[in-house]
Amino acid sequence: MTDIVDTLAIRKYTAAGHHESHYHVAEKLAHVHLAPRQPVTYGPSGRFEHDHPLSNLLHKNETWAKSVVDCSCDFFERGALGQRPEVLWLGCADSRVPECEILQLAPGDVFTHRNIANVVVNTDLNCLSVIQYAVDVLKVKHIIVCGHYGCGGVAAALGEHSYGLIDHWLLNIKNVKQQHIKGLDDLADEEEKCRALVELNARQSVLNVAKSPILRAAWERGQEVDVTGLVYDIKTGLLGELGYHISSLTDLADHEETGSSVLFTGKP
């Protein structure tokens, strides 16, 4: 089995543009030794026992790192020199929505911020700091706000049940619901209503990103960066467009003028 894995790794390595013989690649990979660097500081807890659940995760991480190095010997060395992602992903913390897997991109390709129900509000300094760093320092070209069908946060905001502390956060989505209450009430199917609120919540976050002083300043100085709303369908694994793509202050004004009733009658 090991021989088969090594052979596949060599083929991937050469297919990626490394035009060397299989013999030379195999020789190069044979000398690759992976081991975590010793931490500079360390707490009083001992190392995980072999049967500890997290010990298995560390083993999986080692296997993954080895497979990456097998395909590209200097991948991590290049990554350590810095990051230059073109995409900022603002998504939900849901474990079923892993952005790099969905987009088929590698570590270093996507700058990410995730929270409950992909909410962007002007009081969240954590999220705004991520956006500012992505736009002002990393110079990302695309900001994606991605909602997903089957979002528990959105479903909770549709109801009236109290969930404790998170109610303060869900209030942001409830406000979106109230802005579009007529169109939502006209939807008889509860799943369709939840899907609609997922989409409208993503729209509101797109608008909030675009209205932020960060994006306004970027556009005023001529920086090319756009904000797009997408939705991920956990039943199909596919991303879909929502009709929200803003790349200038003019675009923003057009989107803000679009009434709720138009959104419910609009088609791709």
Q: Does residue 189 have a known ligand-binding role?
A: no
Q: Check 24, 96, 216, 233 and give the catalytic one.
A: 96
Report CA dihedral (45, 47, 52, 54) to the nearest 10 degrees. Answer: 90
Instruction: Answer yes or no: 151 catalytic.
Output: yes
The residue among 44, 223, 205 whose CA lies nearest residue 122 is 205
Q: How far apart are CA 11 and CA 258, in angstroms?
A: 52
Q: Which amino acid is at 173?
A: I
Q: How far apart are CA 3 and CA 91, in angstroms?
A: 40
Contacts of 123 (CB under 8 A, 6+ apart): none
Query: Given this model, what pLDDT does residue 1 score?
Result: 33
The pair of three-digit structure tokens given for residue 204, joined into one six-digit string? 């509101």
Q: How far apart are CA 66 and CA 16, in angstroms?
A: 17
SS3 177: helix
Are 64 and 5 a contacting pair, CB within 8 Å?
A: no
Q: Check 71, 151, 180, 255 and give the catalytic one.
A: 151
The residue among 126, 79, 73 whose CA lies nearest residue 105 is 79
Q: Check 148, 180, 195, 203 and give the catalytic one.
A: 148
Using the Cα atoms of residue 182, residue 183, residue 189 and residue 194 in order, give the sign of their dihedral.
negative
Query: Given this model, what pLDDT does residue 237 score?
Result: 97
Q: Does residue 226 have a known ligand-binding role?
A: no
Instruction: Answer yes or no: 94 catalytic.
Output: yes
pTM of the model: 0.85
> Domains in the chain, please, with CATH?
2-79 (no CATH), 87-265 (3.40.1050.10)
SS3 87: strand
Which residues of the chain carry a pLDDT beneath 50? 1-26, 29-30
What's the order of all strands across the beta sheet hosting 226-233? 110-115, 87-92, 142-148, 226-233, 238-246
Q: Does residue 92 have a known ligand-binding role?
A: yes
What counts of helices (H) and strands (E) characterise the chain? 13, 5
Q: Does residue 71 have a known ligand-binding role?
A: no
The pair of three-digit structure tokens given for residue 38, joined into one six-digit string? 């010793």
Instruction: Answer yes or no: 221 catalytic.
Output: no
Query: Given this model, what pLDDT does residue 20 score?
Result: 42
Q: Check 70, 71, 92, 127 and give the catalytic one.
A: 92
For the chain, helix, strand, coil in percent to 5 are: 55, 15, 35
Q: Check 94, 113, 194, 255 and give the catalytic one.
A: 94
Instruction: Answer yes or no: 73 catalytic.
Output: no
